[in-house]
Structure 1
């Protein structure tokens, strides 16, 4: 029977799934938006939301736990110093998924996964 499956296997082995999740989450935090398939976005969103919640409290323990999934130190620092402080008042729902249509080759549903709060643009007045 196919009962109580808590996640989508995405047609990959466990190690490949783990690497995919790490790379996609790193890209999401680096660029603050990524284009991917709907099923991947739903899986990535779970991990990203948990990481942002943990990053709201900047401690050595939390940094080490998140560093297991984000290998790039610049992105890790960006998460703790820029991204997480934007969401201090928000209890959850840090990402949004926008539908973009279907991919030409295989008709997979494509979406845009992005962070809800945008970075404040730095415009200098003369």
Structure 2
């Protein structure tokens, strides 16, 4: 299994204010968090996983494998989870062409998504 680093948090996850929140919008799932800037203002980040087929969240105390995902979004190629989904329904698997994404936040644990793609957005908040 190959691990590809895709995006790193702009801060340490231990510096996230108010924790990580998770929400859904149709087939998309969004992880969002806020952090303080040196100017005293806040910035909000969102990681949107598009066309999510399945996902899991594991407490930091029960995370068996990190996959180099500490404060980093990674993709796992040829993961066991992906391979099992392909065997289960190869026709739909080829239509969705899903990827296996993993990210670990200190204090929140590990999130894994089987999804088509991801998009990161950021904006300053008042």
> How does the TM-score come out when normalised to structure 2?
0.26
Task: With a CA cutoff of 8 Å and minimum separation of 6, indicate the structure with the bigger relative contact order.
Answer: 2
Q: Greater share of helix residues, 1 or 2? A: 1
Q: Greater share of strand residues, 1 or 2? A: 2
Structure whose alpha-carbon radius of gyration is higher: 1
> How does the TM-score come out when normalised to structure 1?
0.26
